Amino acid sequence: MMRLLALLVLLAFGGLVAPGHALAQATVTRSPATAPTLGTTIRGTSATTFSISTSGAVTRTSGNAIRLSSSSVTTPTITVNCGLLNLSGLCALRHVRVTITPAPGSGPAAISRLRIGGLSGATYRSGSAPPEGSSLSFDLNPIGLLGSATFHLGMDVVLAANASSGTYAFDYVVTVELVP
């Protein structure tokens, strides 16, 4: 019994894992799994920026392309989770770094700015939300066992000048890692 307990303690605290390598990481899910869509847009002669708030409202902030719909979009909800009893990587006890970047090669529509809104289930390590930016990287305080952190993602999307009228896809990548 004592050997089994010692083995569990070694596994839980990384004794059998190479330094700097956790056996498990926090996981991230996106809902919906794709970036929001602006719907059909009509060609503009200048690059046009549409701003999507963290609540889903879409506003044209520059340029002269036209978005045919005036309705809101479903903004992405990002959830970071440590899972059930994830002791192998001490996920529930370590800070979690979240990095969000626009995906390359999106075509005529591309994300130029990202923003975070409505964090629940966790707190920022720095004490406040990260400022808007072309990419975001921020740390969350430990989430705890069975806990998860959730936030909404807003963004600015630039539609290239003279892009054909139609619907365009754009995407982003979210990664999470444990930090000391």
DSSP-assigned states of every residue in 13-31: TTTTS-TT--S---EEEEE
Q: What is the pLDDT of residue 89?
A: 56
Tokens of 139: 């740390």
- pTM reported for the whole predicted model: 0.81
The answer to which of 3-17, 80-94, 116-130, 132-146 has the lowest mean pLDDT is: 3-17
> Which residues share a beta bridge with 97?
139, 177
Q: Choose between 12 and 65: higher pLDDT.
A: 65
CB 156, CB 61: distance < 8 Å: yes
* Domain residue spans of the chain: 23-178
Q: Which residue has the tokens 């005036």?
A: 70
The neighbour count for residue 55, using CB atoms within 10 Å, is: 12
